[in-house]
Amino acid sequence: MIPDENRFESDPDQLIERPPLPEGWTVGTPDPADRFDVARLTHLLRAHEHHGRGWAAAGVDEVLVEVSEPGLRMRENLVVRDPAGEIWAWGSVHDRSVGRMLFVHIVARGLPDEVADACSDALLEWAEGQARAVGAARGLETQQIDTGAFEGDLRQARWLADGGFERVRRWWQMSRPVRADEADLVADPERWVRDGVVVRQVGRAGTGMPDEGDLREVHEVLESAFVDHFNSSEETFEEFCFRLSEDPGHRWDHWWLAEIVDGAEPVPVGALIGTVSESTTGPDGSYVSYLGVLEAARGRGVATGLLRTIIADAARRGRDRVGLEVDADSPTGAAGLYESLGWRTRYVTESWHRDVPVR
């Protein structure tokens, strides 16, 4: 269930007694109603992306997910300001699921090393305190902090290692181009059948909202498919739907179910959740946020069918690419499937974890 109240500590002064900052610098929370704060956070996020991979994709909508009122049901934020009130560092924590707290850690480039280090220390100290707060609220003994870095960002890696984090995983960020003629890869992205497997979009009610039963099937398939995967943790149906619907690229007509229909009743065995990757300079793209297939159904072409469906859907919508993320260390061979269907790695990210004792 989504909590009625935020599980985090909202007052930074309760977590950072004496911020290790230069004279006149302060810590506080951003104001989502202040267009200057939102603009500055957007600039920091885009600069962070540009330095890490060579281009920026985030915009105001991604920032508002973190700092606006709906997002704050599951998040908390910290900013570091200079004496003039300018924001130079930003931390965000997200109560992602049981035992797993996501942590965004961004410090502006161009600061003197000692000032940048002090900003990072403040963010890390605050995140540790938030881990204890959210872990205690969930009744845990240990709370994981899950953060990340672009591969090759030596400054970020140094800060995380010095802060007690361990680099635990690498992720290939892959993309493939989409051609107009790939609109016919499947008969109809809304629904098609082959070899006893049907792939269809989740049902929609007369109001346009999705069928709750179908959404629950998607959730159950993905929870089961990923139960043995790296860093999997339990997430309730309500948390799952709330989190995904926050994504600026979320669309209900980008959710697909795969069912085996060669028995008396359809049996859900696979699911794919896609999003829109909007662009200000050209065509939009699609993105595979989740793809899962139950072990009992593997070998029947379910994963391939779901991937061909989102490619065909993207082509029919006039999009020029489909992106996804794959575990570089996964033993499942998923990367081979993606490469066989035309995906190529564009850049690499890393997961860094720290386990914080709650008591």
pLDDT of the residue at 234:
81
Render each residue's pLDDT in the chain as its tens digit; 359 residues: 566 678 999 999 999 988 789 999 999 999 999 999 999 999 999 999 999 999 999 999 999 999 998 888 899 999 999 999 999 999 999 999 889 999 999 999 999 999 999 999 999 999 999 999 999 999 999 999 999 999 999 999 999 999 999 999 999 999 999 999 999 999 999 999 999 999 999 998 777 789 999 999 999 999 999 887 777 778 899 999 999 999 999 999 999 999 999 888 999 999 999 999 998 888 999 999 999 999 888 889 999 999 999 999 999 999 999 999 999 987 777 889 999 999 999 999 999 999 999 98
DSSP character at residue 343: -
- 179: Cβ contacts below 8 Å, ≥ 6 apart: 315
Place of tokens 């990072």: 120
Q: Are 336 and 343 in contact (CB under 8 A)?
A: no
Pairwise CA distance, residues 254 & 323, whole Å: 14
Closest to 329 measured CA to CA, from 347, 308, 315, 350:
350
> What CATH topology corresponds to 179-319?
Aminopeptidase (3.40.630)
pLDDT of the residue at 231:
74
* Assigned architecture for domain 12-172: 3-Layer(aba) Sandwich (3.40)
Quick one: tokens of 207? Answer: 């109001």
Pairwise CA distance, residues 105 & 48, whole Å: 10
- 34: Cβ contacts below 8 Å, ≥ 6 apart: none
| All CATH 3.40.630.30 domain ranges in the chain, comma separated | 12-172, 179-319
Closest to 291 measured CA to CA, from 249, 244, 328, 258:
258
